[in-house]
Amino acid sequence: MGKISQGILGGLSGKVGNVIGGSWKGIDYLRIKPSSVANPRTEGQVNQRNKFTATLEFLQPNKEFINVGYKSFAIKKTAFNAAMSEILANGITGDAPNFEVDYPNALLSKGNLAGVLNPTFDDSTPGQLTLGWSDNSSLVNASSQDQLFVCIYNPAKKESVIKYGTSRLMTSQILAIPSAYAGDTVHVYFAFVSSDKKQVSNSSYVGSFEAS
């Protein structure tokens, strides 16, 4: 049974008929319980579910990165939901009903800080990844103290290595690759985060390689 806490115009908690009320992040809301659907697997519904599934599988292992990368968009929504909307709109590719993440266009972070200039990686040493970039700390929306933020995503294992690195000024970083990743294709993303963690750049997709 639903309860109206502040009169007829106040917050509704629970269910009244087909109206469901609640509160999230201090915001009262009402929604209509959907009626049953005769055919819940129409072509459009299947396509949307497949896009949603691909997006969710990509974002779940990268929550730590997303919580920083979409922090400024977490207004009346979570950072995860903001990232979900972004990837669904701009980071999915394929032909119906087979959809997958478009890794080069999937942003794990989104912001106004200057991005990574000329990002590179070298995976020639087994178990090790050497990252490189050019110093662009002289830009107005950058600082020499901005910190590298790295994601190495392993879709086969549905997990990621997410690390903070050195400063923008240093232009290189070496990271260890888990031995368990050997033989798996992994995808590499860079971004920069301000020293106070309040600003972030768009992530840059650097490429993929087979871990060894």
Identify whether 119 is part of a domain: yes
Q: Greater confidence, 18 or 42?
A: 42
201 with 119, same domain: the answer is yes
What is the average pLDDT across 174-191? 97
Which residues, including other chains, have CB under 8 Å from residue 201's CB and lie 6 or more apart?
109, 111, 112, 113, 114, 115, 116, 146, 191, 192, 193
Amino acid at 169: L
Nearest by Cα to 192 from 65, 60, 79: 65
Residue 8 has pLDDT above 70, yes or no: no
Identify whether 38 is part of a domain: no
Sign of CA dihedral 99, 104, 107, 112: negative
CATH (domain of 96): 2.60.40.10
8 with 109, same domain: the answer is no
What pLDDT was estimated at residue 112? 96
What pLDDT was estimated at residue 11? 55
Can you give the pTM of this predicted structure? 0.80
69 with 163, same domain: the answer is yes
7 with 87, same domain: the answer is no
Identify whether 37 is part of a domain: no
Cα gap 37→190, rounded to integer Å: 43
Cα gap 47→12, rounded to integer Å: 34
Residue 111 has pLDDT above 70, yes or no: yes
155 with 52, same domain: the answer is yes
69 with 17, same domain: the answer is no
17 with 83, same domain: the answer is no
Tokens found for residue 181: 């990743």
Q: Using an 8 Å Cβ cutoff, are 147 and 192 in contact? A: yes
Identify whether 79 is part of a domain: yes
Residue 119 has pLDDT above 80, yes or no: yes
23 with 48, same domain: the answer is no
Number of domains in the chain: 2
What is the average pLDDT across 175-201? 97
Q: What is the pLDDT of residues 46-105, one digit of tens each?
A: 899 999 999 999 999 999 999 999 999 999 899 999 999 999 999 999 998 899 999 999
Angle at 36 between CA 34 and CA 40, to 5 degrees: 105
The percentage of residues in the chain with a pLDDT greater than 70, rounded to a whole number, is 83
> How many CA atoms lie less than 13 Å away from 121 in the CB half-sphere?
25
Identify whether 18 is part of a domain: yes
Cα gap 76→113, rounded to integer Å: 23
Query: How buried is residue 124: exposed, middle or buried, by Cβ count under 10 Å (0-12/13-18/19+)?
Result: exposed
In terms of residues, how long is the chain? 212
Give the lowest-confidence range in 43-47, 77-81, 123-127: 43-47
What pLDDT was estimated at residue 43? 83
Q: What is the pLDDT of residues 192-208, one digit of tens each?
A: 999 999 999 999 999 99
What pLDDT was estimated at residue 40? 61
Q: Using an 8 Å Cβ cutoff, are 180 and 157 in contact? A: yes
The domain in which residue 68 lies consists of 43-210
What is the average pLDDT across 148-155? 98
